[in-house]
Chains A and B, each alone.
Chain A
Amino acid sequence: MIEEKVLLDHGSGGKVSHSMFSDLILPLFENPELSKQDDGATLDIEGTKLAFSTDSYVVDPIFFPGGNIGDLAVNGTINDIAMCGANPKFISVGLIIEEGLPVKDLKKILETMAVAAKKAGVKIVTGDTKVVPKGKADKIFINTSGIGVIPPHIDVSGSNAKPGDKIIISGTIADHGIAILSSREGLKFDSEIKTDSAPLNGMVQSIIQSECDIHVLRDPTRGGLGTTLNEIALQSGVGMNINELSLPIRGAVQGTCELLGFDPLYIANEGKLIAFVPEKDSLKALEIIQQNEFGKDAVIIGEVTKKDPGRVFLQTRIGGKRVIDMLTGEQLPRIC
């Protein structure tokens, strides 16, 4: 980090966030668990493998098409734990509330959290509440943390991608980011696009129990699919080829991105996962994902290569080839 002050870019989930993590945060806390840089930490406690993860939510606006900050916070942490190959069981909730937030809004958020937790089969077991003076926070910020047990035979990590792996995405990309954008002050527009926020632990459990060999699971949230693929390419030291024609994007999302100049590859998702599976198991894994209620539009979007380690390429519709880089700069601040 060379800047004197923290900039919004540092929270983008892209290259600048990564430099803050590796230059400032990692050297101070250096330990093997943190160094793996997965969605959650994998811990060994007296022979039991645990997944542990935390995430803070500062989304603006707090209510948006298809959800609100509450279910987003619950699903987000559930998914981070699920991506470690674990089944999340317990989560904590920390609320930072701005003085003056209508109690009816708080109630609505908490009710949504209760419903989301129940739906995913997790319990909210501990928490904390703080209220800060008006203007010192924006309405409400929520932190959630959670734990889950990883079955002994499971080893999924962003560093496990192997040449030949097929890359599956569980559905359409960029829905969440565009849903938030459509409800932003100053840029409101009518749209049928809703957030895709959803718990993916059920989907992950079905894949794990299927005996498919799973190398990597990741939810492409902030920074979008493009950034997540790059993270995995770097972690695993492999290359990737993605086929543009196979990328699932809703027409309305594509249209909005075209109008506003956004690249859907860098727009956040909150209810999608990508799975890296050896070719022999890829069709079976795809079928299992498609059977889940949140995976109906799942497709194979590309494969892992030995060539060009750390780089991700896109085969374009017109038969061209270009690089997909990590997100640089902030496309949309405060998306989650």
Chain B
Amino acid sequence: MVLKYIEEYRDGTLARAIIKKIQAVSKKKLRLMEVCGTHTTSIFRHGIRSVLPECITLLSGPGCPVCVTAQKDIDAFVEFSRLDNVIVTTFGDLIKVPGSSSSLGKEKAAGADVRIVYSVFDAITIARENKEKEVVFCGVGFETTIPTIAGGILMGIQEKLDNFSIYSANKLTPPALAALMETDGVKIDGFILPGHVSVITGTNAYRDTFEKYNIPSVISGFEPIDILNTILLLIQQNEVGKPALENAYPRAVSDQGNEKAKLIMNQIFKVCNATWRGIGDIPLSGMSLKKEYEKFDAAIKFGMDMPDMPEPKGCACGEILMGLKTPEQCGLYKKKCTPMTPVGPCMVSSEGSCAAFYRYA
């Protein structure tokens, strides 16, 4: 399982050449936002911030699915785990996210049956093996994850599993970018667009947003050479004043994206309004199950409708996700809020910007 591409895309000589170019062309003060949490982590892990000119500021955007999950959805997950005869299946990062009264991790320690899975198909296996129990899957993901969840529903139909359901807190990326651009005070000079999401959506998914706001936008891979190259392209676009939508990850991303994945996603799910933590309601930015698949909808099956709760006092996750604040500007950061005692989700998720700052900065 040796992954050769790692060496090539982490090559020190190549990296230094790109860094030199960046230093040569960079004049203006720029604020570039990496939308995806995996980019945030990679930028920190490879020390990319430390090699950029001082006039370049990197902001971490709303691209970590756990970080943008609304308080009411976290509360719903906790509530499911408190029900008798229910097994809650979830991705590991969600376990510690505090809801308004508890977290899945705390409920697990108190005896709830909460199981970490690596994919929706693990949840299907658990449902198959525990027919006498109800299995609820916490659906938290972007375009990268939603097609596999749809695949899980298809499998559930095929196997006539009536003890399996999902709670969909799934979200779409392009509407969030547009919402960011519409928010007062937000100042972004370029988007480092997510690689994984774009594999599914394709470059075309960003055209409307790009044309409306005319903002430099480059799709990036996740290795240091990919990211440095993307930053160079964004700086060049800004310096010459010619914004463009570019794909700097062509080895994985096409214009159309993954048609098959999009087909499955749109077969099972429909676009709906969604609440983003810290940002609020964004029209047509979520995905819920279509009417004909309602029997797999845990919210309907269990009549789960949690009230919208205010986010923890002092938590600046929302402003951080929009690039209005850095984690260090949050009053709770490193004081009340640490990875051991997280207050907001950005400190919990391994891809959250506060956790990345805490760990690497």
Give the distance to chain A from B65, nearest Cβ to Cβ, in Å. Answer: 13
Contact across chains for B12 and A320 when beta carbons are under 8 A apart? no
Contact A254 B3 (CB under 8 A): yes
Which residues of the partner chain B approach A2 to less than 8 Å between Cβ atoms?
341
Nearest Cβ in chain A — how far from B125, in angstroms?
8
Residue in B closest to A320 when the chains form the complex, CB atoms: B47
Contact with B along A1-23 (1 / 0, CB 8 A): 01101111100000110010000
Is B6's CB under 8 angstroms from A254's CB?
yes
Q: Which residues of B contact A316 (CB under 8 A)?
A: 45-47, 224
Closest B residue to A251 by beta carbon equals B2
Q: List which B94-150 residues lie within 8 A (CB) of chain A.
A: 96, 105-106, 109-110, 117-118, 122, 125
Mark each residue of chain A from 174 to 195: 1 if its CB lies under 8 Å from any CB of chain B, else 0. Answer: 0000000000001100010000
B3 touches A318 (CB 8 A): no
Which of B3, B106, B338, B355: most chain A Cβ within 10 A? B3
A263 contacts partner chain B, Cβ-Cβ < 8 Å? yes
Q: Mark A64-88, 1 if CB is under 8 A from B, else 0.
A: 0000000000000000000000000
What are 19 A-B contacts defined by CB distance under 8 Å? A3-B106, A7-B109, A8-B105, A15-B340, A186-B122, A251-B1, A254-B3, A255-B6, A315-B47, A316-B46, A317-B11, A318-B15, A319-B47, A320-B49, A321-B50, A322-B46, A322-B360, A328-B359, A329-B340
Do A317 and B12 have beta carbons less than 8 Å apart? yes
CB closest residue in chain B, given A318? B15
For chain B, residues 4 to 56, give those with C-beta under 8 angstroms from any C-beta of chain A.
6, 10-12, 15-16, 19, 44-51
A6 to B111, CA, bound (A): 12
Instruction: Give the shortest distance, in Å, between A259 (CB) and chain B (any CB).
Output: 8
Contact string, A243-255, partner B, CB cutoff 8 A, digits 1/0? 0010000011011
Chain B nearest CB from A15 CB (Å) reads: 6
Q: Does B228 contact A (CB under 8 A)?
A: yes
Instruction: Check if A15 sits within 8 Å of B339, measured CB to CB.
Output: yes
Given the complex, which residues of A lie within 8 Å of B44, measured CB to CB? 322
Listed in ascending order, the chain B residues whose CB lies under 8 Å from chain A are 1-3, 6, 10-12, 15-16, 19, 44-51, 96, 105-106, 109-110, 117-118, 122, 125, 224, 228, 338-341, 350, 355, 358-361
Among A255, A321, A322, point to the contact of B1 (Cβ < 8 A).
A255
Cα–Cα, bound, A323→B6 (Å): 21
A318/B51 contact (C-beta < 8 A), A258-B3, A323-B361 known:
yes
| Residue contact B3 to A255, C-beta cutoff 8 Å | yes
Nearest B residue to A254, CB-CB: B6
Residue in A245, A315, A317, A329 whose CB lies within 8 Å of B96: A329
Given contacts A258-B3, A318-B228, contact A245 B12 (CB under 8 A): yes
**Chain B residues within an 8 Å CB radius of A323:** 359-361
Bound Cα distance from A287 to B106, whole angstroms: 49
Residues of A within 8 A of B48 (CB): 318, 320
Give complex CA distance A320, B361 in Å.
12
Annotate A239-276 by CB proximity to B: 1 below 8 A, 0 otherwise. Answer: 00000010000011011101101010000000000000
Assess the B1–A191 pair: CB atoms within 8 A: yes
- Tell me the bound Cα distance from A254 to B3 in angstroms: 8
Asked if B358 contacts A325 (CB within 8 A), the reply is: yes
Closest to B12 in A: A317
Q: How far is the CA of A9 from the CA of B95 in the complex (A)?
A: 11
Asked if A314 is at the interface (CB within 8 A of a chain B CB), the reply is: yes
Q: Closest B-chain residue to A260, C-beta based?
A: B118
Residues in chain B near residue A317, CB distance under 8 A: 10-12, 15, 46, 224
CA distance A6 to B109 in the complex (A): 7
Q: In the complex, what residue of chain A is closest to B44 when comparing beta carbons? A: A322
Name B10's closest neighbour in chain A (CB-CB). A317
The answer on a CB contact under 8 Å between B16 and A318 is yes
Are B19 and A318 in contact, with the CB atoms below 8 A? Answer: yes
On whether the beta carbons of B340 and A318 are closer than 8 Å, the reply is: no
Chain A residue at minimum C-beta to C-beta distance from B359: A325
Instruction: Evaluate whether A5 and B109 lie within 8 angstroms (CB atoms) in the complex, with A254-B6, A322-B360 already known.
Output: yes
Contact B47–A256 (Cβ < 8 Å): no
